[in-house]
Amino acid sequence: MENFKMVAKTLYGFEDVLAQELKNLGAIDVQKGVRNVSFYGDKGFMYKANLSLRTAIKILKPIQSFKIFSEDDLYKKMYNIRWEEYLHNKGSLAIDATVHSQKFTHSKFIALKTKDAIVDKFRNTTGFRPSIDLQYPDLRINVHIEDMFCTVSLDSSAQSLHKRGYKASTNIAPINEVLAAGMLLMSGWDGRSDFLDPMCGSGTILVEAAMIACNIPPNINKKEFGFEKWKDWDVDLFEKIEASALNKIRGFDHKIIGYDKAPSAVRKAQENIENANLTEFISVEQQDFFKTEKVTEGHLHMLFNPPYGERLELLNLELFYSQIGDTLKQNYPNTQAWFIVSNLEAIKNVGLRPSRKIKLYNGKLESRLLKYDIYEGSKKASKN
């Protein structure tokens, strides 16, 4: 099988993490972009990337790129692509367009022009035309315009890869699975210690932490990928790759614990953990973090997404963050604590100096992932 170029899309700030994931999987010629990483691999690698990448949102396969000077020019060039190689004349398609251009400003119009060209081509050459299906098309096409440069890709993932398939229920402000996995990888979580998410909500961080610890492919529960409806879909190859990925799952000897003070959150987290088949690795308890202390021996890895003002009405953010700082200082020795915040003023109230600050986005909110090292006894003693 021959290698071809692919582009994995990701969230802002995770380009390095995704590039490293791709290298670890065996991708060739990995190049970082903004919110994306390009690489080369064959069809089997495309299947493997969709199954195994934790920080990718989509895997696109570019098929053509060209300069466009007008809407008519776009139509002509789209018309000339050999669409019959990718789609049956009675199949269905959907088009996503992203546009960063002075000349072409309307992504919906670009998508419409593209659709017209493809449908007209089939009607004129075969007498039949494909239909449009925005939910479950046979072929999802991605059109990307940068200034006057247009790239046409096939979307091998279909539904975004953050939809892993284990979430039945979420809380008011659920964290995106790719964001959760990316923060865990960034924090250096490798499954070699106990783990705690003290404000676990619907359990996304816990599930992603367990999948990393056990080396479980993140998209193993996903119902369907885009490439399963392609003309060159190879089910035997896919099953071989899936089996090989499942073969690399490893055991885990530590504890992954989640707390939440809302009984409804605890129930939802337990349900999602069950859907992901991870109940043997994760326990969730109804606890108010501020009234807890460290229950495990040795080093503890902590990562959480505290509720914050924009999405959850917290009465007193200043007090809330100072309680986080106090609880960590007083009750959690020998802990590496990471959490994400979007209120950059309120974090001053934690009362501890973060050893790292990483800029990320939680949804549309500019946020910081902060790292706090809580030493056993005093800092001076631990250095000696």
Give the length of the chain: 384
Look at residue 318 in the predicted model and tell me its pLDDT: 83
Domain identity same for 66 and 132: yes
Instruction: Examine residue 163 and state whether it is found in any structural domain, yes or no.
Output: no
Domain identity same for 205 and 68: no
Domain identity same for 13 and 107: yes
CATH code, domain carrying 369: 3.40.50.150
Q: How would you write the pLDDT of the chain (384 residues) with one tens digit per residue? A: 899 999 999 999 999 999 999 999 999 999 999 999 999 999 999 999 999 999 999 999 999 999 999 999 999 999 999 999 999 999 999 999 999 999 998 999 999 999 999 999 999 999 999 999 999 999 999 999 999 999 999 999 999 999 998 987 665 567 899 999 999 999 999 999 999 999 999 999 999 999 999 999 999 999 899 999 999 999 999 999 999 999 999 999 999 999 999 999 999 999 999 999 999 999 999 999 999 999 988 999 999 999 865 444 556 888 899 999 999 999 999 999 999 998 888 889 999 999 999 999 998 889 999 999 999 874 444 444
Question: Which residues face 361 on adjacent strands?
Answer: 366
Using left for φ > 0, alpha for ψ between -120 and 50, and beta otherwise, residue 29 falls in: left
Amino acid at 378: S
Domain identity same for 346 and 209: yes
User: Residue 214 to residues 159, 202, 262, 284: CA-CA distances in angstroms?
Assistant: 25, 20, 28, 18
Number of domains present in the structure of the chain = 2
Look at residue 253 in the predicted model and tell me its pLDDT: 92
- Torsion (CA) 284, 289, 292, 298 in degrees, nearest 10: 70
Instruction: Examine residue 301 and state whether it is found in any structural domain, yes or no.
Output: yes
Domain identity same for 145 and 187: no
Domain identity same for 187 and 325: yes
Look at residue 314 in the predicted model and tell me its pLDDT: 55
Look at residue 121 in the predicted model and tell me its pLDDT: 97
Look at residue 363 in the predicted model and tell me its pLDDT: 87
Instruction: Examine residue 234 and state whether it is found in any structural domain, yes or no.
Output: no
* Angstrom distance (rounded) from CA 381 to CA 376: 8
pTM, 2 dp: 0.93
Last residue of a domain, one of 155, 185, 200: 155
307's CB contacts (< 8 A; 6+ apart) are: 173, 199, 314
Q: How many CB atoms lie within 10 A of CB 290?
A: 13
Residue 31's domain comprises 4-155
Contact in structure between 362 and 175 (CB atoms under 8 Å): yes
Instruction: Examine residue 239 and state whether it is found in any structural domain, yes or no.
Output: no
Q: Which two tokens stand for residue 80?
A: 């000339």
Domain identity same for 85 and 187: no
Instruction: Examine residue 236 and state whether it is found in any structural domain, yes or no.
Output: no
Contact in structure between 293 and 266 (CB atoms under 8 Å): no
Domain identity same for 95 and 195: no
CATH code, domain carrying 80: 3.30.2130.30
Domain identity same for 186 and 111: no
Domain identity same for 282 and 339: yes
Residue 114: CA count within 13 A, CB half-sphere? 26
